[in-house]
Structures are given as structure tokens and as C-alpha cells.
Amino acid sequence: MSVIKTEGKERPDTPCVAVCSTTFDDVCRGCGRTVAEVAEWVFMTDEQKDVVWTRILAEGYPRRNT
């Protein structure tokens, strides 16, 4: 897995934890991203990814045990 360093922080290049589930809504219960964010992730700039990372970390994601 690649590691990205932004704003002095190291984190994986993606929040995916291979616990994909959007059964009940449009938010993955594993990583906390929306369906649109998952689909667009590889096209996002580092700044856009930072916004998503900030939100999902504040919400308690990513979660391995959901």
C-alpha cells in the first residue's frame, strides 16, 4: 500500500479498508466515503482528498470492524 504525506501527516493513499458496504445509504460503512467520492477518488487532487480525509477522520472512519 502506498503512503501519502500531506501537511506533515502520513496516511494511506486511500481510506479503503476493504469493508465495502453501501447497503443502507450512499456512505460506505468501511471507509466513510460517499459512493461518488469512491468513484472519483483516483481523479481527485491531493487537496480534494485532504478534504475527504478530514471529514471521514472526524466522523470516526475508516473502520475495519463495522
| pTM score | 0.80
- Give the tens place of pLDDT for each residue, 7-25: 566 888 999 998 888 777 8
Instruction: Determine the Cα–Cα distance for residues 41 and 33; give it in Å rounded to an integer.
Output: 9
> Angle at the Cα of 33 (from 47 to 7), degrees rounded to 5?
30
* Burial status of residue 32 (CB atoms within 10 A of its CB: 0-12, 13-18, 19 or more): buried
Confidence category of residue 32, pLDDT binned at 50, 70, 90: very high
In degrees and rounded to multiples of 5, residue 11 shows phi and psi of -155, 160
**pLDDT higher than threshold 50 for residue 66:** no
Report pLDDT for 20: 84
